[in-house]
Amino acid sequence: MQKLAAIKKHKDNFMKYRYLLKELVSKQIKLQYRDSVLGMFWTLLQPLLTMIVLSIVFMNLFGRDSSQVVNYPVYLLCGRLLFEFFTSSTKRSMRSIRSHAGIIKKVYVPKYIYPLSSVLSTFVTSMLSLSVLAIVIIFFNIIKRNPITITWHVVFAVIPIIILFFFSLGVGMILATLSVFFKDIENIYDVFTLLLFYITPIVYHISRLGFEEGSWQMRLIKLNPIYGIIGMFRASILFGTEFSHYWDMKLMIYTIICSVIVMVLGFVMFHKNQDKFILHI
Amino acid sequence: MSNNAIEVDHVSMMFNINSEGVDNAKEYVVKAAKKQLHFSRFWALKDVSFSVKKGDRMGIMGFNGAGKSTLLKTIAGVLKPTIGSVKTEGKIAPLIELSAGFDSNYSGRENIFLYAATMGFSRKFIEEKFDEIIEFSELGKFIDAPLKSYSSGMKSRLGFAIATSVKPEVLILDEVLSVGDAAFREKSEKRIEGMMGNGVTVLYVSHSTASVEKICNKAIILTQGQLVANGEADEVCELYRQMIKQK
């Protein structure tokens, strides 16, 4: 009974502040593009330009094997869009408590609103930038170079996106909590994401690493839930015709378990420490 | 609770002087190595209990470091007391440092919505108060300019206009208001007096017994975190004057 009452209290509190959540999300989106001539276009232009640059650089090195990557620019873009969402949402979330220190010190606000709004606003812009993927696929299908057959399996792309959203939220909450107590986390995390970019098969296919299937190195790389998430996303877009062969059920369950654990851990950590935040910011 | 706007129940607040303020790993490791992390407790509030009836205007007095700010923060819900509890009824609007909730890249208009949302109001509620806020802040056509182009006087006028237009049940006034020019100051003092007439509960922090006697009907004194006096404003002010003399 007591637990039920506590849950209800949290829900009421959330309902009271949901307008603040909406305001913060729209603020972060608006301010990102204000004063820039191309405005919202940057959400599309930025991933497109990086895709072109990375394709030029790595095409010859990693793009030859068309049975695994089908179409290198699209393969690359699939991985990068999701990875970019993960890094920018977690980075924003990590800084969210510190950057709102002024308010937190003065007024009571449910503090989880800040990391949550950071992840949500990045989510919205990332979803918009997914349209670049559609444009690029249409482009290659028109010029008929490495065309991609899109089947109804494309709807499965929603699953990795949802898993990634909750995974990022969990990681964001953990980082937000840690960075209040240890500011150095911000610097360490920047280096970490760079490292993560290279150990996650984004610009290359996992087979290019030359490790045997089942070796410990291979296992280590697959331990990274982002690998599985990107893999599912690619399966639903690039391999619609042989979907059941490329969609890894085990990996899906593994990534779901990972994101649930990270979410719970993030919320518990945040909740247990939030009363102490004010003493450190 | 029915008649009380605020109930402070045996509240104690402990700070750990050494571990607080440590915000990076290096400092943490160094202090841990020196075994400085878990010692030297400091009680900013010690077993403070009092209640404020609805419509009462409570003056809070005390020397520097007596725990006034800590007390206000526990009432505002920003700090959670180490021991004891604080119960409040109705909306609390802190009028301390008005610019805290603002974003400098946002226009005045957008900031009104953001600031009010931070205080927990719905969009509909703020839209109703919108014209009143703009009119009172005297910002006119500047309301759509980004906040970074505002002068500090303009910012504080806007903050004051929002905090008082939302008609809170409990108003926290930390130190005397010094917002804008003389004309605006007079206007804002009138506005606060008007709010007091409407049965708002006020917490007023001040060193000046004269202004506490003028504004408040009840008062308390804090000394080194302890409540030493609680009663009618004029009696408590008399006591406070004696305390100043002895010091």
The tens place of each residue's pLDDT in chain A, 281 residues long, gives 677 888 888 888 888 889 999 999 999 998 888 877 777 888 889 999 999 999 999 888 887 766 778 889 999 999 999 999 999 999 999 999 999 988 888 888 899 999 999 999 999 999 999 999 999 999 999 998 888 888 999 999 999 999 999 999 999 999 999 999 988 999 999 999 999 999 999 999 888 888 888 888 888 899 999 999 999 999 999 988 888 888 989 999 999 999 999 999 999 999 999 988 988 87
Record: contact B114-A16, CB cut-off 8 A: no
For chain B, say whether A275 makes contact (Cβ under 8 Å). Answer: yes
Chain A residue numbers with beta carbons less than 8 Å from the beta carbon of B123 are: 19
Record: contact A23-B97, CB cut-off 8 A: no
What's the confidence (pLDDT) of residue A118?
A: 96
Chain B residue numbers with beta carbons less than 8 Å from the beta carbon of A29 are: none
Q: Which CATH number fits domain B4-90+204-246: 3.50.50.60, 3.40.50.300, 1.20.58.1610, 1.10.1240.10?
A: 3.40.50.300
Q: What angle do CA A249, A254, A257 make, to 5 degrees?
A: 130
Q: What is the pLDDT of residues B33-80, one digit of tens each?
A: 776 656 677 888 999 999 999 888 899 998 888 888 889 889 888 888
Record: contact B76-A108, CB cut-off 8 A: yes
DSSP state of B66: S
Record: contact A104-B78, CB cut-off 8 A: yes
When scoring A99, A103, A113 by the number of chain B Cβ atoms within 10 A, the one with the most, hence best to mutate, is: A103
**Could you give the CA distance from residue A227 to residue A250 in angstroms, rounded to a whole number?**
13
What's the confidence (pLDDT) of residue A265?
A: 97
Chain A residue numbers with beta carbons less than 8 Å from the beta carbon of B147 are: none
What's the confidence (pLDDT) of residue B100?
A: 66
Show me where the domains of chain B are located.
4-90+204-246, 102-166
Q: What is the pLDDT of residues A210-223, one digit of tens each?
A: 888 888 888 889 99
**CB-closest option in A17, A19, A106 to B123:** A19
What's the confidence (pLDDT) of residue B19?
A: 63
What's the confidence (pLDDT) of residue B97?
A: 56
Query: CA of B174: which chain A residue's CA is closest?
Result: A106
Residue ranges for chain B with pLDDT beneath 70? 1-2, 18-22, 35-39, 94-100, 175-180
What's the confidence (pLDDT) of residue A114?
A: 95
